Structure 1
Amino acid sequence: MSRVRVGMLTTTQGGGGFGEQAPLFRALLRSARREGCIAYVFTPAGVDWDAGRVRGWVASPGGRWRCRSFPMPDVIYDRIVCREDLRRPAVDGALSRLKAMYRGRYFNPCLLDKWEVYQALASDASLDEHLPETRLLTTPDVARDMAGRHPVMFIKPRRGTQGRRIVRLDRRTSDPMGSYRVRSQICREQTVPTLDRAMAIAAPGTEDLIQQGIEGPSIRGGRPFDLRALLHRDGRAGSRAESGWRLTCIVARVGRRGAITSNLHTGGTAVRARTLLREVYRARPSQAQAALTRLRRLALTVPPALERSFGHFGELALDLLLDGQGNPWLLEVNSRPGRRALVLAGEGRARALAGRRIFRHARSLVEGDDR
């Protein structure tokens, strides 16, 4: 059988390059060669529909990008991360055409909307108890209703990324309408006398969400942390179970002191999950392994539930949190994750495994192991 061609679909960034994704694409091209695949990066504008060919980009041994003409791919792995590009008519039209052509050989078909994800997963009985209550912030009454149940709340854009525009509200008294501490990534901390005043500072838009805050343990002088789980379909030949979802790695992301999130783009870093959990539960070492087991179990429950609503994925990243009792919570799902957390955490083997699993899955879509 001929080598499977995998096209990694993206859009160019400023200056015509691939922006923050360039190192990831270089690593994935190396993984493709090791897995016996032909891979290239391409854009919607590079498709020649009449000729059935595409302008694809590959990296030279020295790391420079070279453009070549390739046959259309056998499988498409969608890595478009810019929502503004998706709204362009030319891009939207090309994607619709490609998805219709490739159907089951097109994976990771969309950037996820936090509100739509919450609605889909909350309908699954096995996941509902692991989701912080989340509401679309359509009127001030929504915030008042949430405040009656949750002393800590987060306001975030439903389609936001990289921790931008997130605001944390901490109730200061027993009165849900009373005093709040307001914190964000870009504004100084303020304490205000009423919830309505706090909401005025947060200035949410009609497309924002308000979410229950989960109070969990912190480390190293009050630094927040969460856990990023990276999952892949692994299409190695064998039993049907062999080509299902697998947990590739869990790393811990640790925020700056005083930060409200642990996102890497807002100054956070990453460490190995086991190392961090041993620190969190240093007085009870057995709890670290128990917490990790619960996180893994929850992580593997999410992809099948998500695919029932959003289609075929080969890779997902989950942002997880532990509460004070060690129970796991699912905060967000990322359908086109990077690898920076794995690099910072020193998880080189997991990073390599992630690449291998991407192309094993792509091969299986052509060779039939996932059918």
Structure 2
Amino acid sequence: RKAQGAHLSATSIRQALTEVAFCLQKRSEPMAPEARQIYKGAEKMRTPLPLKITQDENRKVYIPKTIQLKTPIKHILFGTSSSECEVIQVDRQEIKLSEDLFSSLNIPYSSTTQVFIHEDNLYVGPLVGIFTAGFSESMIRPIGDRTLFFAKLLAQEKAVGAYVFIFGAKHIDWDKGTINGIFHSHNGWETIEVPFPNVVYDRLPNRRTEKHKALREIKQRMHHEYLIPWFNPGFFDKWEIHQLLEGNHLVATYLPETHISPTFTLIERMLSKYQHVYIKPANGSLGLGIYQVIFDRETEDYYCRYRDQDGKNRLQRFSSIESFINTHFRNKQLEHYIVQQGIHLLRSDHKTIDFRIHTNKDEKGKWQVSVMAGKISGRGSVTTHLNNGGVVRTLTEIFPDVTECKKISDSLKQAALTLSEVIDSRQKGHIGELGFDLGVDKNGSVWLFEANSKPGRSIFSHPKLRKYDKLSSRLPLQYAIYLTETTIKTPEVIFK
């Protein structure tokens, strides 16, 4: 790279070394015992079969005798490619395809596969496409700063028995019905032409990109013309999620009092009732643009905590709500904000604690908790986000008492799973993962502060939580297997 004139900063060198170290890890590393404690279903994954090439036959497929066939198989499919074939059952626990079939189906390489049989068709794969944007020209880091994240996702393909690739709008050839997918193997990143996938996992990076008309049209066309299920579309709006949940008795108790387009009068009323409130952008993320307003009943002053444009935590005093609004919202419209009840949360060393919980669907389409962590706010910070000075801690680090830790852990798990099921039942499309920011007050009640459709992964920087990084990367691919099999056998469930 230096010979090509690239300028390497200290940060880029560290990132490159991290990626090299990751690529050198053994793909067959077993799941950590601690991970199994969170997600018990991980031990029950269906076992994938090796998929190999044989060169001495034409249109032959060899499958184990343990696979029961109700009718003779006439066709083999990979993604949206299909071919006539002759199936022969053997004693070996593997799948072998003749070289001509391997080539005509556009299977990229020998790996492991799941096998689905429906009527007279045999499906191998699944072929999973991860749709995103923000590609670079370099095949060393083809998705820029997010390359390592995608490498971790693709590293799980062999364990689950799937072929997984990354693609964007520019990689699709609609006339040929193929995609120049970006794959990651022991050879590094490479581009390989494959058929359209069985399922698409949406990993568009932000709301702005998601709104592009061309990207929305790709999703619509694949979903409606090619009947390809597309999961995890869209980013959540805080107010829409609040409205979606507040009418459901199972989760309404988790919701702080929240209002859209707050007025002076409303903010003052809520401060009088709760003593502090949060004013947040309805479409915000990463803790940006949040204000905490505190009312001091003794002095009748108002205090505001926020993070300024230079990334510093600030505390200001105001004599009235009007002066606060005129200072911070002079050029902003409050109609794009929500005001939310402040909660007196559990604290550690006088700093507030909230909790990040990730939930994922597994290969049975069932919600599971994949990771839990505590986040402790930085000094003077309005949120617990790491970019605001917050720190990540495991629950056992925060609550050394075993009984207390289990009680809070169980409450958080129950809340996260219930919220996942309710959101899933009320949102359009297919959701495979969610992230929740939850709080626990001094009475032990759980509160929902935010739900994310594409949760960040900053908590995995904690050494004791890195083992869950692999688990939460594996589960979306397991859910893709579920969507593939369901689409093949009962498509009315997916396209209802």
TM-score, normalization by structure 1: 0.89
TM superposition shift of 1:270: 1.4
Assess if the C-alpha contact under 8 Å between 1:162 and 1:264 holds in 2: no
Decide which of 312, 318, 325 is 2:443's aligned counterpart: 325
TM superposition shift of 1:68: 2.5
Of residues 244-253 and 15-24 in structure 1, the stretch that sits farther from structure 2 once superposed is: 15-24
**Aligned residue-pair number:** 356
* Structure 1 position 118 matched with structure 2 position 252: no
Q: Distance in 1 between matches of 2:296 and 2:144?
A: 42
Partner of 1:66: 190
TM superposition shift of 1:342: 2.2
Of residues 129-138 and 89-98 in structure 1, the stretch that sits farther from structure 2 once superposed is: 89-98
TM superposition shift of 1:77: 0.7
Q: Deviations over 1:166-193 (max 9, x none)?
A: 1110111169xx4211110126311111
Partner of 2:121: none
Q: Distance in 2 between matches of 1:213 and 1:357?
A: 34
Moved over 4 A (4+): 13-17, 101-104
State the SS of the aligned residue for 1:336: coil
Decide which of 265, 282, 302 is 1:180's aligned counterpart: 302
Assess if the C-alpha contact under 8 Å between 2:197 and 2:228 holds in 1: no
Label 1:319 to 1:14 Cα distance change in 2 as closer, same or farther (>3 A). farther
Q: Distance in 1 between matches of 2:447 and 2:224?
A: 36
Partner of 2:281: 157
Assess if the C-alpha contact under 8 Å between 1:179 and 1:195 holds in 2: no
Assess if the C-alpha contact under 8 Å between 1:319 and 1:333 holds in 2: yes
TM superposition shift of 1:304: 1.6
Q: CA RMSD in A?
A: 2.3
Q: Distance in 1 between matches of 2:258 and 2:170?
A: 38
Decide which of 177, 182, 198 is 2:324's aligned counterpart: 198
TM superposition shift of 1:133: 1.1
Decide which of 393, 396, 403 is 1:286's aligned counterpart: 403
Greater relative contact order, per chain length (Cα 8 Å cut-off, separation 6+): 1
* Structure 1 position 168 matched with structure 2 position 292: yes
Assess if the C-alpha contact under 8 Å between 1:216 and 1:322 holds in 2: yes
Partner of 1:255: 377
Label 1:138 to 1:194 Cα distance change in 2 as closer, same or farther (>3 A). closer
TM superposition shift of 1:293: 1.1
* Structure 1 position 189 matched with structure 2 position 318: no
Of residues 12-21 and 142-151 in structure 1, the stretch that sits farther from structure 2 once superposed is: 12-21
Label 1:76 to 1:351 Cα distance change in 2 as closer, same or farther (>3 A). same
Assess if the C-alpha contact under 8 Å between 1:9 and 1:79 holds in 2: yes
Q: Distance in 2 between matches of 1:18 and 1:255?
A: 31
Q: Distance in 1 between matches of 2:225 and 2:354?
A: 39
Q: Distance in 1 between matches of 2:135 and 2:378?
A: 29
Q: Distance in 2 between matches of 1:339 and 1:26?
A: 14
Decide which of 298, 302, 314 is 2:415's aligned counterpart: 298
Q: Deviations over 1:138-167 (max 9, x none)?
A: 543432343342211111111111111111
Q: Distance in 2 between matches of 1:260 and 1:277?
A: 23
Partner of 1:309: 426
State the SS of the aligned residue for 1:363: helix
Q: Deviations over 1:188-218 (max 9, x none)?
A: 3111111222222331532111111111122
Label 1:134 to 1:18 Cα distance change in 2 as closer, same or farther (>3 A). farther
State the SS of the aligned residue for 1:226: strand
TM superposition shift of 1:128: 1.0
Q: Distance in 1 between matches of 2:426 and 2:280?
A: 22
Decide which of 218, 239, 256 is 2:347's aligned counterpart: 218
Partner of 1:240: none
Label 1:51 to 1:250 Cα distance change in 2 as closer, same or farther (>3 A). same
Unaligned runs of at least 5 residues, structure 2? 1-114, 116-123
* Structure 1 position 10 matched with structure 2 position 139: no
Partner of 1:40: 165
TM superposition shift of 1:267: 2.9
Of residues 15-24 and 106-115 in structure 1, the stretch that sits farther from structure 2 once superposed is: 15-24
TM superposition shift of 1:269: 2.6
TM superposition shift of 1:56: 1.6
State the SS of the aligned residue for 1:346: helix
Label 1:174 to 1:360 Cα distance change in 2 as closer, same or farther (>3 A). same
Decide which of 334, 339, 359 is 1:231's aligned counterpart: 359
TM superposition shift of 1:297: 0.8
Q: Distance in 2 between matches of 1:15 and 1:154?
A: 42
Identity %: 25
Q: Distance in 2 between matches of 1:299 and 1:102?
A: 34
Assess if the C-alpha contact under 8 Å between 2:127 and 2:197 holds in 1: yes
TM superposition shift of 1:15: 6.9
TM superposition shift of 1:92: 2.5
* Structure 1 position 96 matched with structure 2 position 220: yes
State the SS of the aligned residue for 1:188: strand
TM superposition shift of 1:287: 2.5
Counterpart amino acid of residue 366 in structure 1: T
TM-score, normalization by structure 2: 0.67
State the SS of the aligned residue for 1:149: helix
Assess if the C-alpha contact under 8 Å between 1:234 and 1:358 holds in 2: yes
Q: Deviations over 1:239-286 (max 9, x none)?
A: xxxx411111111122222211111232323121232133xxx5xx53
Q: Distance in 2 between matches of 1:57 and 1:72?
A: 13
Q: Distance in 1 between matches of 2:359 and 2:342?
A: 25
State the SS of the aligned residue for 1:120: helix
Q: Distance in 2 between matches of 1:61 and 1:293?
A: 40
Q: Deviations over 1:22-59 (max 9, x none)?
A: 22210010111211100011113322222211122123
Partner of 1:266: 388
Q: Distance in 2 between matches of 1:286 and 1:193?
A: 45
Q: Deviations over 1:299-324 (max 9, x none)?
A: 11011211233232111111111111
Partner of 2:336: 207
Partner of 1:85: 209
